Amino acid sequence: MLADYCWAKKRDILDAKYYHFLDGKCSSTHFIKFREHAKRSKCLPRETIVQIKTGDPDYLFEPEYVEVKRCGGICSPLLSCTPIKEKNVKTSFNVQKVNLDRTLSQCGTVEVEEHQECVCDCTVMEHHCNKKIQEYDPDECRCICKMDMAEECATMDKLWDPKECKCYCKNQHDKNNCSSMEYWHPHMCRCVRMHHENENSIPS
C-alpha cells in the first residue's frame, strides 16, 4: 500500500510526452470512463498514509506509518479540499526507547486525526489577512488592500503597490544617489541630511 502511495505521488502531474491522440472522436465508453475518473477525484475522505512523529529521537514507533482517512481530491483553483468534520482514532503501536545502556520496548496506543467530511473551501481564509492593511474578499477567496490606503497614496502623488499594500516614491531609484552624509526618506521621497548630536550642541 505504501509503495502504491509513493508511486501515485510521483505521477501526480502527467508529462506531455506521455499522451497521444486517437483517431476519431471519443466513444460513449470513453465518456463513461471520464465520468468515473471525475467521480473518484471528488473532494472526500480517502485513505492516506501519515507518519507518527514523537518529537523525541530517543523514541521509535512501530509501525512508523499508519493509514487513516484524510481529505483529498480536486477543487477549483482558488479552493482546496478541507475537513469540516473530524475525529480522533486510536491505533496500537510498539514504542522503543533507545539509550546507551539498553533498549526498552512497550506496547501502547496513539490518537491520530481522521477526517469524516470534506468540502471545497477557500485556500486563503480571513485569518491569513493582515487586518491592519487588508480586507477579506470571500467571493474571490483572497486578501485585498484597504481602499482608503490606495486613495491616500494617490493624494501623495506616489505609486501604489496592490500586492504589498504600500506606497512607493515615483523616484525610488534616486535613493542610490544619496551621499554618505544623507539617508533616503521614504515619506519625503528625497535624500535627507543626517543630523549629529554635536550639530545641535551649544558651544562653550
112 and 165 together in one domain: no
Q: What is the helix (H) or strand (E) element at residue 51, kind and residue range?
A: strand 44-51
Closest CA relative to residue 124, chosen from 116, 134, 115, 133:
134
Q: Which residues contact 167 (CB under 8 A, 6 or more apart)?
A: 149, 152, 153, 156, 158, 159, 160, 161
Residue 11 pLDDT = 42
Return the CATH number at 76.
2.10.90.10
47 and 115 together in one domain: yes
C-beta of residue 160 within 8 angstroms of C-beta of residue 141: no
Total tally of structural domains belonging to the chain? 2
Task: Divide the 204 residues of the chain into consecutive groups of 10 and give the mean pLDDT of each group.
Answer: 40 57 76 76 92 78 90 92 94 80 80 94 94 93 90 86 89 87 88 71 48
Q: Looking at the domain assignment, is residue 134 inside a domain?
A: no
